[in-house]
């Protein structure tokens, strides 16, 4: 019987098939520390890290029996995929069940940031001065505005669907242009990266984290955006120069930002914490119980599918 090591304390219900067919170790009430994983990994064929547990060469070298790393997340920048490939270890992710909830949170951040919901709530609760006059402390509209999506994959398209329903126009930039059918579905226009930054009212980062996309948004890119632009990031924190973003927000180079991911999470730059024009979330794109259960089920399907061929398997290093 294959042995599976889960680094996070997950709910057991969606993992039922895993426990039936494999020998599984899972911590009871808290995530495992790196040292514990290094100590135990030599006996296991499958490792299940969550999206914040970095799986590097040391862990893979210690995992002499490792056949599979089944990531509990859609992004896999927490895994040294290149080294896993060299070692003959299959790496999988869960792109289907993470799509809609992440797009949902991205659009929630877009609305909350543009319409200043977090700012209003904070001011009123703390009994700080807020301008109740006709034009005082005004936000930005969403209807009739242009959303620029960087990375028009599953999540980008799910976000576009929500934006179109709210009366927004869509422009996008991708490594590859989408088919005409998909563009027509959202009324989306493919544009160069610089053009997107210069013309979008709202800019949403939805591309995967790769060596090419690290710090894709920095001082130069932020300077191209409109002073009324809103920046949304639900992708990965390492794709943005956080200090440059904080400086642009503080100096009014862009109007606001809604962030769910950070360069050094769970640590957040102190500069961001004191700004009134930022809405912050704790990497909560899929953080509902129902969605986390769906993610676990998709992850289980990857493992069972890998060994039994029963389900489709989402392999990232074919």
Active centre residues (catalytic):
236, 265, 283
Q: What is the DSSP letter of 253?
A: S
Burial (0-12, 13-18, 19+ Cβ within 10 Å), 258: buried
Token reading at 78: 């927490």
Q: CA dist 262 to 109, 146, 171, 245, 259, Å? A: 15, 25, 25, 11, 8
Q: Which residue in this structure is represented by tokens 């980008």?
A: 156
How far apart (Å, rounded) are the C-alpha atoms in residues 129 and 136?
A: 11
Q: H or E stretch including 236?
A: none
**Radius of gyration (Cα) for the chain, nearest Å?**
21
Alpha-helical runs (H) found in the chain: 16-21, 34-40, 57-62, 81-86, 99-114, 117-125, 154-165, 180-186, 193-199, 219-224, 242-250, 270-273, 289-308
Token reading at 189: 């226009």
How far apart (Å, rounded) are the C-alpha atoms in residues 170 and 286?
A: 24
How far apart (Å, rounded) are the C-alpha atoms in residues 64 and 308?
A: 22
């Amino acid at each position: 019987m294959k042995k599976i090591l889960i680094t996070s304390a997950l709910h057991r219900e969606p993992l039922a098939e895993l426990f039936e067919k494999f020998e599984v170790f899972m911590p009871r009430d808290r995530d495992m520390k790196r040292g514990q994983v290094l100590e135990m990994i030599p006996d296991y064929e499958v490792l299940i890290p969550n999206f914040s547990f970095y799986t590097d060469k040391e862990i893979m070298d210690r995992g002499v029996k490792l056949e599979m790393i089944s990531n509990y997340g859609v992004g896999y920048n927490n895994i040294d995929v290149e080294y896993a490939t060299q070692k003959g270890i299959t790496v999988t992710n869960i792109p289907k069940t993470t799509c809609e909830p992440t797009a949902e949170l991205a659009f929630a951040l877009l609305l909350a940031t543009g319409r200043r919901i977090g700012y209003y709530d904070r001011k009123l609760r703390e009994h700080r001065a807020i301008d109740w006059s006709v034009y005082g402390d005004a936000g930005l509209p969403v209807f009739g505005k242009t959303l620029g999506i960087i990375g028009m994959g599953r999540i980008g398209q799910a976000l576009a669907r929500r934006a179109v329903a709210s009366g927004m126009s869509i422009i996008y930039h991708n490594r590859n242009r989408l088919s005409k059918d998909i563009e027509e579905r959202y009324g989306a226009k493919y544009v160069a990266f610089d053009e997107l930054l210069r013309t979008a009212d709202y800019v949403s980062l939805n591309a995967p984290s790769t060596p090419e996309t690290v710090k894709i948004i920095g001082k130069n890119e932020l300077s191209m955006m409109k002073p009324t632009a809103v920046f949304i990031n639900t992708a990965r924190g390492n794709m943005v120069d956080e200090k440059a973003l904080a400086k642009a927000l503080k100096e009014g180079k862009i109007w606001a930002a809604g962030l769910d991911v950070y360069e050094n999470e769970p640590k957040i730059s102190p500069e961001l914490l004191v700004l009134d024009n930022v809405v912050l979330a704790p990497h909560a794109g899929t953080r509902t119980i129902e969605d986390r259960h769906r993610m676990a089920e998709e992850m289980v399907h990857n493992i069972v599918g890998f060994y039994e061929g029963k389900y489709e398997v989402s392999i990232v290093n074919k």
